[in-house]
Chains A and B, each alone.
Chain A
Amino acid sequence: MSEVSSSHGKRRPDRAALVIAPVLFILAAVIWWDAGRLAEMSNYSRIGPATVPHVVAIGLALLAIWTAFEAWRGDFPEREPIEAQPVIFIVAGLAGQMLLLKTAGFSIATGVLFALTAFGFGRRKLWISLPIGIAFSFVVFIIFGRFLQLSLPAGPLEHLFF
């Protein structure tokens, strides 16, 4: 990242960045709590399975404080405006593939991902992109699933051929 904010004017607290601090702090707390459950098995040294998680938790907590401080001073780099819509479509594609994978098989599920990603990037004609995606995924299934023997889940489409 090269966009260092070099404006020397008054900086405002960066609210979005300010949210990062509590997230880090909660992560630290979860790790600390989880490490507390571990039974200390080592007898001859104080070092056990909980040692490193404790160190990591302390580190995260300190970083959370530092983050809050920097965010409050507005030291985070300026962000470019974000378009949410394409992101939502791509995430929907990934979620769709995840949910369809077991029932519809690799080709159809991945075809959905393909079409929705293309949709997010502006190819809105799903009746074109979905068949392309399924066909392409099917070719990938043949190459990787058949020739390279990866265990890709088969669905109705794959069962038609194999």
Chain B
Amino acid sequence: MGTFEFLLQGIAIAAQPMNLLYALIGVTLGTAVGVLPGIGPALTVALLLPVTYKLDPAGSLIMFAGIYYGGMYGGSTTSILLNTPGESASVVTALEGNKMARAGRGGPALATAAIGSFVAGLIATLGLAFIAPFVVKFALSFGPREYFALMVLAFVTVSAAFGDSTLRGLTALFVGLALAVIGIDQQTGQARMSFGIPDLLDGIEVTTLAVAMFAIGETLYVACQGDRIPEKVEAVKGSVWMSRQDWARSWKPWLRGTFIGFPIGAMPAGGADIASFLSYSTEKQFSKHKDEFGKGAIEGVAGPEAANNASAAGTLVPLLSLGLPTTATAAIMLAGFQQYGLQPGPLLFATNPQLVWGLIASLLIANFMLLVLNLPLIGLWVKLLTIPKPWLYAGILLFATLGTIGANPSVFELGMLLTFGLLGFAMRIFGYPIAPVVVGLILGPMAEQQLRRALAISQGDVTTLFMSPIAAVLFVLAVLAVVVPLILRARGKGEVLSQFAANED
């Protein structure tokens, strides 16, 4: 069966009334939570994971797909109407979008972001559907050493390649890897780093870590800064509809953004932030209205928003076809799969095609729902933005702890939540990125397993890792991804990289 038949089959699954309902709940919750300031897609997905605990795998993953896309959408609304973007990938959107909103053009800014996200989501999800099977075919030839090399590359790009410091990125990664050691060793059954505490034998939950670091760490960080930054929500004045000129200026950036964003997301090369920055600078180059940039150019909203969403869909390529999360959001989605004992990767396409294709199809459906849902309901989302900070963060912590309590109502688990929250707070103060910790925790055990398999095959000969051409190339790329940025930074060109900092997703 070709991709097309699989996709049609997927649509048939996703279009079942119950699944449509799950998708609708997912996009609504995702948008509502994603709109809240300070909450990016990674945290949106982590916070809403417990909602899906009691559903069947298919329903839960479909709701998840909706939450993911909804969270991405919600973030753009926040950054346009409020100058503090909820997700790092929307920083660029805030540059032009917030200026537009201040100039009374908030409506068209939101519209171009929403329609651009739709166009990008549509093309990129179709791209995912057609590319993933090829990657799967390719990945079937992968042995343990190729997988290990791929994971090392993902470790490096997520931690060291972007951001403003190789040191802090790598440190965050190794903290994640250290936490990953905790628990029972998968191959010999021996307890590692558990100090006789039974609660630690199962290891550390990815969702507990992610919620603690993103929700509690962020809340503490915002709290410790006091009332220094007054926030002002821009009212949406006038029509949300775009004029003929707005359309004319938007459609090319949408497409360019999509074609910049999707490949970046699909390669293990970091998050949506890179894509949106590249798109922004591209639009600045191409625009006939260069003087408007920095004052509210619609191209500067349309392009990056499209790139941002296309890249979000792109990250699902390595996630679904290789089981490789390249962003914190993808890491949490992987945890979502694992709670049902599902391991994304080439095998899942073979053993559970209905599930995979149902998921891909429901991404398409979620995308349509978001377009229909978003523009008319914009007034409601704006109201969410005006929740006063004390209630907002009190609510965030309520839901953050709810997830942990719902998964495991133990004092110990809440203690870990608090501990990691403080760790995330400290890391934020000193400028450490958070995403590498989360990716390190979930990918660490997987990388270890592949490494040990590879070395068991070769009877402990380490050089075997570099003997396969694919693995060797991946290792060379990984080394370059550490060394090149180090040299760039040492020569004072670090600002470019720090703009690409993959902070949150």
Contacts and interface: CB of A to CB of B under 8 A. Distances in A.
Contacts of B227: 122
B437 to A, nearest CB: 13
A94 B223 contact: no
A142 interface: no
Nearest to A137: B398
Given A31-B178, A45-B456, A90 B220 contact: yes
A7 interface: no
Nearest to A64: B171
Contacts, number: 209
Interface string A46-70: 1111011100100110010011001
23 contacts: A2-B164, A38-B185, A38-B188, A38-B192, A44-B456, A46-B460, A77-B164, A82-B225, A91-B422, A94-B414, A95-B418, A101-B414, A106-B405, A110-B401, A115-B394, A121-B223, A123-B391, A137-B398, A140-B402, A144-B50, A150-B53, A150-B54, A150-B402
A42 B325 CA distance: 30
Contacts of A77: 164, 430-431
Contact of B54 (A34, A53, A148): A148
Contacts of B415: 98
Given A49-B188, A60-B174, A122-B227, A153 B409 contact: yes
Contacts of A87: 220, 223-224, 425
The majority secondary structure among interface residues of chain B is: helix
B181 A56 contact: yes
A99 B401 CA distance: 13
B219 A117 contact: yes
A20 interface: yes
Interface in B348-383: none
A152 B452 contact: no
Interface stretch (B201-209, B253-261, B497-505): B497-505
Contacts of A102: 411
B205 to A, nearest CB: 15
B390 interface: yes
The 10 closest A-B pairs by CB, nearest first: A45-B460, A150-B406, A121-B390, A86-B223, A118-B390, A117-B394, A98-B414, A49-B185, A123-B390, A47-B455
Interface string B152-170: 0000000000011001001
A148 B456 contact: no
A124 B418 CA distance: 23
A1 B225 contact: no
B224 A83 contact: yes
Nearest to A78: B431
A72 interface: no
Nearest to B425: A87
Contacts of B433: 1
Which of B216, B223, B431 has most chain A Cβ within 10 Å? B223
B178 A76 contact: no
A63 B167 contact: yes
Contact of B391 (A63, A95, A118, A137): A118
B193 A31 contact: yes
B177 A59 contact: yes
Contacts of A10: none
Interface of B: 50-51, 53-54, 163-164, 167, 170-171, 174-175, 177-178, 181, 185, 187-188, 190, 192-193, 195, 216, 219-220, 223-228, 389-391, 393-395, 397-399, 401-402, 405-406, 409, 411, 414-415, 417-418, 421-422, 425, 429-431, 433, 444, 448, 451-452, 455-456, 458-460, 494-495, 498-499, 501, 503
Which of A46, A84, A115 has most chain B Cβ within 10 Å? A46
Contact of A79 (B177, B395, B430, B501): B430
A110 B460 CA distance: 52
A108 interface: no
Contacts of A101: 405, 409, 411, 414
A82 B171 CA distance: 23
Given A114-B394, A120-B223, 12 more contacts: A44-B460, A52-B181, A52-B448, A56-B177, A82-B429, A90-B219, A91-B422, A94-B216, A98-B414, A114-B398, A117-B219, A150-B405
Nearest to B187: A49
Which of B175, B395, B399, B401 has most chain A Cβ within 10 Å? B401
A1 B503 CA distance: 7
Contact of B406 (A70, A90, A152): A152
Contact of A39 (B170, B190, B195, B220): B190
B398 A110 contact: yes
A147 to B, nearest CB: 9
Given A27-B178, A110-B401, A148 B394 contact: no
B420 to A, nearest CB: 11
A78 to B, nearest CB: 9
A42 B430 contact: no
A41 B455 CA distance: 14
Nearest to B460: A45
A135 B474 CA distance: 54
Contacts of B460: 44-47
Given A76-B430, A148-B51, A152-B405, A83 B225 contact: yes
Contact of B417 (A4, A94, A106, A137): A94
Contacts of B216: 94
Contacts of B495: 4
Nearest to B170: A63
B418 A53 contact: no
A90 B164 contact: no
Contacts of A86: 223-224, 226
Contacts of A47: 451-452, 455-456, 460
